Amino acid sequence: MCRNIHTLHNFEPPATEDEVHAAALQYVRKISGTAKPSQANQEIFDRAVAEVAAATSRLLGGLTTTAPPKDREAEAAKARARAEVRFGPR
């Protein structure tokens, strides 16, 4: 369930709001144990996602590094190569 949570720090261009929201959604899904909350829990679920996304944005905005920014395409290519070794070609 948490495969969509990826490192968001130190990329060029920086993480988008959509990426931060997707990571927050996956985190809340994992913690709550549900991918789709009931109507009774929808409001608190949505609030938790918003709060986690806000905290993540603050974290990313405050982190510093001396390492050069990573290239998204290069990192994606490395991930595809690791997956091919692990699971074979598609």
DSSP state of 64: -
Q: What single-letter amino acid sits at 86? A: R
**For residue range 11-62, what is the model confidence (pLDDT) as tens digits?**
988 999 999 999 999 999 999 999 999 999 999 999 999 999 999 999 999 9
For the record, the structure tokens of 90 come out as: 């598609």
pLDDT band at residue 9 using 50, 70 and 90 as cut-offs: very high
Distances (CA, A) of 13 to 9, 19, 49, 69, 73: 10, 12, 23, 9, 11
- Beta strand 11-12 with 70-71 is parallel
pTM of the predicted model as reported, rounded to 2 decimal places: 0.82
